[in-house]
Structure 1
Amino acid sequence: MSMAHTALGSITVVGECVADAFTDPARSTPGRLALDVLPGGGPANTAVALARLGTPTRFLGRLSDDVFGALFRDHLSASGVDLTDAVTTPEPSTLAIADLDDDGQATYSFFADGAADWQWTADELSTTTPADTVAVHTGSLALIRPPGGSHIEEHLAQAREHATVSIDPNVRPLLVPPAAYRQRLPHWCVLADILRLSEDDLALLLPDATPEQACDTWHAAGVPLVIVTLGGRGALASLHGARISVPAPTVDVVDTIGAGDAFTAGLLHRLTALGHLGGRLDALTPEDTADACAFAARVAALTCSVPGANPPWADSLPTRTAGV
């Protein structure tokens, strides 16, 4: 595929921004807890990673006019994300307090009720998807939380007429019971061409299934390409039942925040470059799936090697994986 083709394909990401607050022990004292706040949220992280890789990326989010909303706008814009169709709103931003364990895995407490991210209206999402959009990616809390989630589903149903649909459920059991995800997942499988989820998500959605069994379940429900990321063990991709095992590059892990989002971005970026997005993945081969997943794993590994959700820029990737 030529670079000219790549430049013509843009990706729209729909979903939330979250202020990720981390405790800062160095600045904390008895009676005073210091927090370090970084811009996050699964869909926003994916949009940032895509734009940094060089894919034209448009973000449909509801950005508060509070201090965190300003942080999100600056972060997204500085990474090259198009915010033309983002909504500015007076509702507060979503805040997550992260607690990191010794392995860099985060657990969160959320402050999300009444937040801007979930209040989508049909009118706000009725903007026609631009003709150059080859894929729409969404998922995480914005797709499941009322009242906005159902409007995003309607947007996907319209967009998939000429764009590939990618969904990352990103299950957050503290905020939404896994049963709610299980109820909506069959409908998402009808809409989605690509379903990317973590093994933690899998354990909550299909607790007794192996990754292979889960892939077959979701293929039967309508998804052509299912990818289960397995942390340090890489990923399992399944294209219409053809299995592709993806090793994870060796990396010194600082934390795993945003790694799954970076994987999704790397996958979508590479599939765009290979010319496979814009429809139902009809021409996608196991070989190109393996190529795209290997690239995605590299992007995720580089994100794990730095603090927070800070995905790499295209010019920092080794040339052997960065080429398109």
Structure 2
Amino acid sequence: MSRSQVAVLGECVADAFATGRASQGELSLRVLPGGSPANTAVALSRLGTPTRFLGRLSRDSFGALFRSHLDASGVDLTGCVSAAEPSTLAVATLDESGQAGYSFYAEGSADWQWSTAELTAERVGDISCLHTGSIALVHAPGAERVEELLSRTAARATVSIDPNVRAGFVDLAVYRKGMLRWCALADVVKLSDDDLEMIHPGEAVERVCDTWHAAGARLVVVTRGPEGALVSLDGERATVPAPVIKVVDTVGAGDSFTAGLLHRLHTDGLLGGRLDALDLDLAANAAAFAARVAAFTCSVPGANPPWARDL
């Protein structure tokens, strides 16, 4: 295996979209493969970065859907666990702006059951970067094992985290307590302005970035939807604009941004350590590319990130 691989650790989720009218006594569910880490892995691979997914994929029908989707996008699945537990289901509701809200059905599902015996160095492989986050980072019992893996990996690879806050699923106190620990392990922290407001309500984004830099994270990127993104590198800051597009929906946009950011850092040869060669201009250029990837995803239905040829 090449060290050029980026590994993505986390959940696959069956994203179900309701059609029909409840008032008529029936709803149908259209199910698409989703889950923030899985979306990120798909987007990374489509952009051309060799990507290894570390997930516990159920042997149920949804698990087969996940495997087919990831494999079709060129993601390496040799690090996955074939799990007996059921897949996680999320029922999505879109508001008038295309923003998705989710109801999760996740108790006892495959994604959260990581054991120390499963998360071995051999399963991770010889990688340049490990990205994780979302529910896998906070859902017991596997969350503690995931954090232990980050600690072991930080000495040999770049670590990237996207908390992807799910306030209706996980108590916000978990994120507030966890962010400083995660920043001590991470080189890259990416999150949305909504995530940041939920974790640190009313606090200035610059102050929060500086707190996380002090904890250990070198690069913090805060996405702001149509207003672009803030890039903070060791306290130096820049902003990048978002492309102007017609939004179909925002499903998977943040994950596509993360993938675009890591892809550009990878192609610039910056992953594999503590980002020692990264400067603010390089970071801003990576974020600007990431904004393009996210914008494309917003212009099509569902979490359907672009291939490199689309850009």
Following superposition, the deviation at residue 181 of structure 1 comes to 1.1
Matching of residue 178 in structure 1 with residue 178 in structure 2: no
The equivalent position to 1:9 in structure 2, one of 1, 4, 9, is 4
Q: C-alpha offsets along residues 271-306 of structure 1, whole Å, 9 cap, x if unaligned?
A: 000011100011101111111011000000000000
The equivalent position to 2:79 in structure 1, one of 81, 85, 90, is 85
The code of the aligned residue for 1:169 comes to P
Q: What residue in structure 2 maps to residue 130 of structure 1?
A: 125
**In the alignment, is the contact (CA less than 8 A) between 1:22 and 1:37 conserved in 2?**
yes
The equivalent position to 1:18 in structure 2, one of 5, 8, 13, is 13
Matching of residue 143 in structure 1 with residue 137 in structure 2: yes
Q: What residue in structure 2 maps to residue 230 of structure 1?
A: 224
Secondary structure at 2:264's aligned position in 1?
Answer: helix
**In 1, Cα distance between equivalents of 2:302 and 2:308:** 18
**In the alignment, is the contact (CA less than 8 A) between 1:156 and 1:165 conserved in 2?**
yes
Q: What residue in structure 1 maps to residue 276 of structure 2?
A: 282
The code of the aligned residue for 1:236 comes to L
**In the alignment, is the contact (CA less than 8 A) between 1:211 and 1:236 conserved in 2?**
no
Q: What residue in structure 2 maps to residue 293 of structure 1?
A: 287
Following superposition, the deviation at residue 100 of structure 1 comes to 0.2
Q: C-alpha offsets along residues 173-229 of structure 1, whole Å, 9 cap, x if unaligned?
A: 111100011111111011000000011110111112122121111111111000000
> What number of residue pairs does the alignment pair up?
309
Mapping 1:65-144, distance limit 5 Å: 65-128=59-122, 129-131=124-126, 133-144=127-138
Secondary structure at 1:188's aligned position in 2?
Answer: helix
**In 1, Cα distance between equivalents of 2:203 and 2:231:** 15
**In 1, Cα distance between equivalents of 2:71 and 2:97:** 31
Q: C-alpha offsets along residues 80-107 of structure 1, whole Å, 9 cap, x if unaligned?
A: 0000010011111110000000100011
Structure 1, unaligned runs of 5 or more: 1-6, 318-324
Q: C-alpha offsets along residues 220-249 of structure 1, whole Å, 9 cap, x if unaligned?
A: 111100000001100001000110101000
**In 2, Cα distance between equivalents of 1:124 and 1:60:** 10
**In 2, Cα distance between equivalents of 1:193 and 1:8:** 18
**In the alignment, is the contact (CA less than 8 A) between 1:167 and 1:192 conserved in 2?**
yes
Secondary structure at 2:155's aligned position in 1?
Answer: coil
**In 1, Cα distance between equivalents of 2:39 and 2:160:** 15
Q: C-alpha offsets along residues 14-73 of structure 1, whole Å, 9 cap, x if unaligned?
A: 0000000001238x8812101111100000000000000010000000011111101000
Matching of residue 36 in structure 1 with residue 36 in structure 2: no
> Which segments of structure 1 move beyond 4 Å, counting only runs of 4 or more?
none
Q: CA RMSD in A?
A: 1.2
The equivalent position to 2:234 in structure 1, one of 237, 240, 247, is 240
**In 1, Cα distance between equivalents of 2:310 and 2:174:** 40
Mapping 1:128-277, distance limit 5 Å: 128=122, 129-131=124-126, 133-277=127-271
The code of the aligned residue for 1:21 comes to A
Secondary structure at 1:22's aligned position in 2?
Answer: strand
**In 2, Cα distance between equivalents of 1:112 and 1:96:** 8
Secondary structure at 2:44's aligned position in 1?
Answer: helix
The code of the aligned residue for 1:15 comes to G
**In the alignment, is the contact (CA less than 8 A) between 2:20 and 2:26 conserved in 1?**
no
**In 2, Cα distance between equivalents of 1:160 and 1:221:** 14
Secondary structure at 2:24's aligned position in 1?
Answer: coil
Structure 2, unaligned runs of 5 or more: none
Q: C-alpha offsets along residues 111-160 of structure 1, whole Å, 9 cap, x if unaligned?
A: 011110000000110133423x1100000000111110111111111111
**In 2, Cα distance between equivalents of 1:135 and 1:85:** 15
